[in-house]
Amino acid sequence: MDTATSKKTITSNLLWKILELGGTQGIQAVVSILLARILSPDEFGTIGLITIFLTIANTIVQSGFATALIQKKDVRDDDFSSVLWVSCGFACLMYAILFLCAPAVARFYDMEILTGLLRVTGIILFPGALASVQTSYVSRNMQFRKLFIGSLISVIISGTVAVIMALKGFGVWAMSWQQIIFWFLLVVVMFFLVSWKPKFVLLWTRVREFLSFGWKILAAGLLDTIWVNIYGLVIGKKFSAAELGGYNRAEQFPKLIAANLGTAVQSVMLPAYSKAQDEKDRLRDMLQSTIRYSAFFLLPMLAGLFAVSRPLVALVLTEKWLFCVPYMQILCISYMLWPIHTANLQAANAQGRSDLFLKIELLKKVSGIIFLLISLRYGIIAILVLKTINEVVCAVLNAAPSGRLLKYGFGRQMIDMLPSFICSAVMAAAAMLIPLTGLTGIVLILVQIITGIIVYAGLSYIINREMLNGTITLVKQLAGK
C-alpha cells in the first residue's frame, strides 16, 4: 500500500470511527438528557456507582488481549477465537465476584438497591467479552463502517426502551436495562456484519504469546480505569448521591467530546502506528500530525462548551442541575490535554513498549493519589481543580517516551498545540460576552456558537492557517469520495 493510499485509508476509517463514536455517543447523550429531565440527581448518582464497578470489571474482561490482537503483526482467525474463550473465562470470574460482593457494596454506600442492580446489570460482562473480540477484528482490518452501523442500531433501540421505562416509573432500572439491551444487541448485529465467527478453538501457545504483551496493557488499563472512576467512588461515599449525579452530568459533555475523539484516534491510529513501528521518522510525523489535528478539533469544542455551559445546562437539563455548571467548566479545562495523553500512549504501544505504558501509568497514579488526598478536605471544586493540575503532570509523563524514542517530547507537542489553544481561548472569551446583550435560552446559545465559529475560523486563518487549510482539504477529499 503506497503512502497516499495509506493516508486515504486511515482518514476514511478515522472518519467512520468518529461517526461511530459521535453518532452513538451523541444519541446516548440525547437519551441521557431525556432521562435527566425525567429522573432525579439521586437516581443518576445511584446508577453512576454501579457503572463504575461494571467498568472496572469490563476492563479486566476486555483489555490487554484486545489490544494485543490489534498490535501483533501475525494474527490468525483462530487467535480471535482463543482470545474470546479466555475473555469469557474472565467474564465468569468477574461476574461471580460482583455477585458475591454486591451486598457489601450496598452496605458500604448505604443503598440497598445496589445489590440487585449490580447482580442484574453485571450480565453485560458476557456480551462485552464477545464484543471486544469483534471490535478487535474490525479495528485490525480497518472496517469501522460496520462498527458504526452496529453501534448505531444498538444505541437507538436501547435508548428508546430506557426512555419509555423511565416514563413508566422504572427509575434507575431504566438505565440498567439500557446497558443490558445495548450490549446484547451489539453482539447480535455485529455477528451478521463481521465475517469472523467464533470457533471452539483454544490455542494455549498463542494465548501465552498474547498474554506476554497483553498483561501489561491489562494492568495499565485496569489502573487507569480505577483511577478515572475513583473520583466517582470518593464523591459517592464522601458526599451525596445527588452530588455524584451532578459530577456525572458535568463530566458527560466534555467527556463526550474529548474521550470519543481520543478513542477514535486510538482505534484507528494504533494499527496505523503499528505498521510504522520500525520507521521512527514516519512514526514521529504521524504522531505530530495526530496531536496537531486532534488539538485543532478538540480545543475549540471544549472551550465552546466552557462558554455556553450555564445556558446549556439550564435549557437542556433544567435548572435543578445548575449546581453542576462549575464542575463542567473545570472538567472542560481538564480534558484539553487529551490529545497528548491518547496519541503518545498509542505510539508507545505500537512500538511494543507495553513496559513503558505500565510504568507511566504507575507514576501517574502516584501523582494523582497525592493530589486527591490533598483536595479531599476542601470539597468537590478543590478535587476537580487539583485533578486538572494532575492532568498536566500526566501529560508530561505520557510524552516522555516519545521524547526519548522519537525526539518529540512534551515541549514540542505543546508548541504544536499552542496555536489552537490561543484561538480557542479568544473564541471562548468572545462567546462569554454574548450574555451581556440580554439574550437567553436557545437564542443565546445559538448566537454564542455562531460567534465562536466565526472567531475561531478567523483567528485560525491568521495564526493556524496550515491546520485550517488541511481541514478544508480533508473535507473536500471526503466529500468527493
Q: Which tops the pLDDT comparison, 310 or 10?
A: 310
Whether 77 maps to a domain, the answer reads no
Whether 476 maps to a domain, the answer reads yes
Asked whether residue 390 carries a pLDDT value surpassing 60, the answer given is yes
Asked whether residue 7 carries a pLDDT value surpassing 60, the answer given is no
Q: What is the pLDDT of residues 457-471, one digit of tens each?
A: 999 999 988 888 877
CA gap 334, 384 in Å, rounded: 8
So what's the pLDDT on residue 333?
A: 94
Q: Give me the domain span that covers residue 294.
A: 255-481
CA gap 269, 366 in Å, rounded: 28
Helix (H), strand (E), coil (C) string for 29-86: HHHHHHHHHHCCHHHHHHHHHHHHHHHHHHHHHHCCHHHHHHHCCCCCHHHHHHHHHH
| Cell triple for 32 | 441521557
Whether 433 maps to a domain, the answer reads yes
Query: What average pLDDT does the segment 405-416 reach?
Result: 87
- With CA atoms as reference, report the closest residue to 141 among 65, 193, 219: 193
Length of the chain: 481
So what's the pLDDT on residue 4?
A: 45
CB–CB of 346/265 below 8 Å? yes
Rounded to 5 degrees, what angle do the CA atoms 151, 131, 287 make? Answer: 75
- With CA atoms as reference, report the closest residue to 138 among 48, 13, 225: 13
Helix (H) or strand (E) holding 466: helix 465-479
| Cell triple for 30 | 440525547
Sequence-ordered list of residues with C-beta below 8 angstroms from that of 222, at least 6 positions apart, any chain: 56, 59, 60, 63
Residue 283: CA count within 13 A, CB half-sphere: 26
| Cell triple for 198 | 467464533
CB–CB of 41/245 below 8 Å? yes
CA gap 471, 445 in Å, rounded: 25
Asked whether residue 441 carries a pLDDT value surpassing 80, the answer given is yes
Q: How many of the other CB atoms lie within 10 Å of CB of 475?
A: 10
- With CA atoms as reference, report the closest residue to 360 among 342, 385, 337: 342
Q: What is the pLDDT of residues 111-152, one digit of tens each?
A: 888 999 999 999 999 998 898 888 888 877 767 678 778 888
So what's the pLDDT on residue 250?
A: 87
So what's the pLDDT on residue 458?
A: 94
Q: How many of the other CB atoms lie within 10 Å of CB of 233?
A: 18
Q: What is the DSSP string of 276-293?
A: TTT-HHHHHHHHHHHHHH
Whether 66 maps to a domain, the answer reads no
So what's the pLDDT on residue 100?
A: 94
So what's the pLDDT on residue 472?
A: 78
So what's the pLDDT on residue 329?
A: 95
Query: What average pLDDT does the segment 386-390 reach?
Result: 92
Highest mean pLDDT among 107-121, 246-260, 399-413, 465-479: 107-121
Across 320-332, b (16+ Cβ under 10 Å) vs e yields: ebebbbbbbbbbb
Average pLDDT, the chain: 81
CA gap 476, 481 in Å, rounded: 9
Whether 190 maps to a domain, the answer reads no
Sequence-ordered list of residues with C-beta below 8 angstroms from that of 50, at least 6 positions apart, any chain: 114, 117, 118, 121, 176
Highest mean pLDDT among 23-27, 168-172, 344-348: 168-172
- How many structural domains comprise the chain? 1
Identity (one letter) of the amino acid at 314? A
Whether 354 maps to a domain, the answer reads yes
Whether 250 maps to a domain, the answer reads no
CB–CB of 410/400 below 8 Å? yes
Q: What is the pLDDT of residues 186-244, one digit of tens each?
A: 999 999 988 888 888 777 777 777 676 666 667 767 777 777 778 788 887 787 777 88
Sign of CA dihedral 101, 105, 108, 111: negative
Give the E-state strand segments of 196-355 in sequence order: none
CB–CB of 217/270 below 8 Å? no
What share of the chain in percent tops pLDDT 90? 30
Query: What average pLDDT does the segment 79-97 reach?
Result: 87
Q: 13-17, 90-94, 247-251 — which is least confidently predicted?
A: 13-17
Whether 338 maps to a domain, the answer reads yes
- With CA atoms as reference, report the closest residue to 48 among 138, 137, 109: 109
Query: What average pLDDT does the segment 396-405 reach?
Result: 84
Q: Which tops the pLDDT comparison, 447 or 245?
A: 447
So what's the pLDDT on residue 5?
A: 43
Q: What is the pLDDT of residues 318-338, one digit of tens each?
A: 888 898 899 999 999 999 988
